[in-house]
Amino acid sequence: MDNILVPQASLILGIIPALILLYISLKGYENLYKEKNIFLTFIVGIILGVLSIVIEIVSMGVGIYFIILFPVLEQLTKTVVLNLRRFQAKKETVIYGLTLGLGFGTISTPFFLITAGAITDYLSLVFIFIGSLGIIFIQSATGIIIGYGVYTHKLAVYILYAILLSVPVTGFIFVTTWFKTEYLQVGIVIYGGLLYWYITTRVLPRILPDHRRKTRREKQIKLQ
């Protein structure tokens, strides 16, 4: 049976949930960012993701070192963009960290498909999509963390947080890839989803003016 989905066509499976997540996440943050920069950082994130995936695929032979090496590579790559002079000490950099991470995360679907080889059943494809969604969560959350570090002049501390929070994900990927246990993709989406929820409800709102933060908190309390 032929491969159900080729990696080139699978990029759309990463972009669609990333754009949906972007739309949801930006609610309540209107007028705090430039739409042009939202678009640019998302596209740059995709480009950086492609470069990262090439390096990772070529270097996967490093074995267990994969778990530490690639969180460092990915987070430092995002830091290079977010720490540009034009973004330093600005609240909106935290939002651009979100969009950069979302773009970066869209490459996870092709990455999983390439490393998994030929996919001939739909159940495997579903698990790959689940794992990819988890990566989108984690990349966007760590993007927010790095952006917050740039904004607060505590970049070194927050880069370290981003790297450490990425290690469990690369651990899941390592086990999934090397031992062909695709069911662990569920672990990626659970971990990534919880981290994304925490970062977007506890860190991202810090850039809001006090009155908007209070209004947002009251809405969340009513929903609970």
92-136 confidence digits (pLDDT tens) = 999 999 999 999 988 877 766 666 555 556 776 777 778 788 889
217 CB-near residues (< 8 Å, 6+ apart): 205
In which residue are the tokens 């002079």 written? 85
The reply to whether 21 falls in a domain is: yes
Asked whether residue 28 is domain-assigned, the answer is yes
Asked, for residue 2, whether it belongs to a domain, the answer is no
Query: pLDDT tens digits, residue range 42-80?
Result: 999 999 988 887 887 777 666 666 678 888 999 999 999
Spatial separation of the C-alpha atoms in residues 71 and 53, rounded to whole Å: 12
Structure tokens at 104: 């970066």
Task: Among 61-70, 82-91, 129-138, 199-208, name the one with the lowest average pLDDT.
Answer: 61-70
DSSP string, 31-88: TSS-HHHHHHHHHHHHHHHHHHHHHHHHHGGGGGGHHHHHHHHHHHHHHHHHTSGGGT
Region of 209 on the Ramachandran plot (φ > 0 left; ψ -120 to 50 alpha; else beta)? beta
Count of structural domains, the chain: 1
Provide the domain limits for residue 131.
Answer: 7-223
- The answer to whether residue 208 sits within a structural domain is yes
